Structure 1
Amino acid sequence: MKRVLLVLCVAALLVLSFVGVAVASESYIVSTYQGASMNGPATVVNHGNWTSAPKNPNVIYIAVWTPNPYKEYIEAALVNVVKKHGLKPVVVENITAHDFKGRVVLFYGPIIGYNGGVLSKTISISGILYYSYAGDARSAVDTINNGLEFSESAISNSANRLCQVSMNRLIKLRIANQTCDVAYWWYLKARVGKLSNANPYEMIASEIASQLDQFLRGS
């Protein structure tokens, strides 16, 4: 009987060790809630008093509003996507100073998380990606600074509000190029096992940058 129990214990330990190795070796990325909206391209054909923006459509000004190390990885990923499309990326801190000077990309990620375990670690971020072909930086910044609602139930409407405010401003200023795209993620998490060589920050940055890639393909 003792021998049987010993064999069962050894077998159980072997199973647990195999499971542990599997968990420690895996890596994946998933989001609780996400979506995207592509508004455009919309260009007013009837000239009249309408003007064109941005001043230089070959330049994309990039601002990332989230703490490091998320920020540095997301900036790098966005820069690579912009270069991939043959455009010039310019990372800036004060994005409003470049209003209508070039296209604008702003990522706003105010909520981050970290959970370190024995076999794996998980990082997460919740945020909104805003892309304006006309380079309307002020609308997005003002909307965020004026208290943009940020929660799981509100993030979709908040993301779309950024474009709604921008469209209203562009119409008021009679600017013809009105393409504005947004994407959002609630609890976008990357889980990486201790034995995995994957970088969770790079995984999250790549997911966000892939959405910008889609925006640029459509603009």
Structure 2
Amino acid sequence: MDLMKRVVLVLGIAVLIVLSIVGIAVASESYVISDYSGASMNGRTTIVDSNSNWTSAPKDPNVVYIAVWAPKPYQVYIEDALVKVVRERGLKPVLVGNVTMYDLRGRFVMFYSPMVGHGGSVLYRMVSLSGILYYSYAGDAKSAVDTINHGLEFSESAISKSSEKFCQASMNRLMKLKVANQTCGVAYWWNLRAKVGKLSRANPYEMIANEIASQLDQFLTSS
């Protein structure tokens, strides 16, 4: 009987040690992942005759106007991350509120996220959002606002098609305005979440913001 008690005690201690090691590992890790995501860029530039009445936009391509439509504190972190990427590309970032005032004046970036969440346990915390990133070299802010205001469907099954509407609307408008450069990029994330262990010093809001900003960096590099 004494032997059996010792075996049980040893096994119990071993289990506790394993659970402690696993707990420390979970509490120390951090990562970003999404259930569903994608990105595309249309680099179409219309070649026109110099005698035609086609125009160029934006007025100043060295300025990038940035709008983030997302709840706080996500908004602040995403703004900071986007501004940093724009500066690193040698461009001038300008955060704006009333975006239509800056239509076609400089390049334009908008991040739109109507859905956020949070969760966690004793060992970790998690924050998440679902959103769409829109980039227009011509600075087409009006098309982005119109697309959102016209009842954009926002769900896991619809977010891919919904994101495509941004560039479709922009290209249609720029064709009517006879703007030659119609370069447009769009990216989307469904349930983009950052999981951070309680022993990690990582900031989950910054991790999500940096993921979004890395996509903008790709758009700027390609345009």
Same fold (TM over 0.5): yes
Spell out, residue by residue over 1:154-181, the C-alpha distance to the aligned partner (whole angstroms, 9 max, x if none): 1111111100000000000111110010
The one of 90, 95, 110 equivalent to 2:94 is 90
Equivalent residue, structure 1, for 2:181: 177
Does residue 43 of the first structure (1) align with residue 46 of the second (2)? yes
TM-score, L = length of structure 2? 0.96
Q: Name the CA distance, whole Å, in 1 between partners of 2:151 and 2:130.
A: 16
How far did 1:146 drift?
Answer: 1.2
Q: Name the CA distance, whole Å, in 1 between partners of 2:53 and 2:179.
A: 9
Q: What are structure 2's unaligned runs of at least 5 residues? A: none
Does residue 138 of the first structure (1) align with residue 132 of the second (2)? no
How far did 1:43 drift?
Answer: 3.4
Q: What are structure 1's unaligned runs of at least 5 residues? A: none
How far did 1:116 drift?
Answer: 2.5
What are the within-5 Å matches in structure 2 for residues 97-176 of structure 1? 97-176=101-180
Which of structures 1 and 2 has the bigger CA Rg?
Answer: 2
Equivalent residue, structure 1, for 2:5: 2
Spell out, residue by residue over 1:132-156, the C-alpha distance to the aligned partner (whole angstroms, 9 max, x if none): 0000000010110111111111111
Q: Which structure 1 residue ranges, 4+ long, deviate > 6 Å from structure 2? A: none
Q: Which amino acid aligns with 1:105?
A: V
Equivalent residue, structure 1, for 2:18: 15
Contact 1:41 1:218 in 2 (8 A): no
The one of 173, 189, 193 equivalent to 2:197 is 193
How many residues end up aligned between the 2 structures?
A: 219
RMSD: 0.8
- Identity among equivalent positions (%) equals 69
Q: Name the CA distance, whole Å, in 2 between partners of 1:124 and 1:193.
A: 15
How far did 1:41 drift?
Answer: 4.2
Equivalent residue, structure 1, for 2:35: 32
TM-score, L = length of structure 1? 0.98
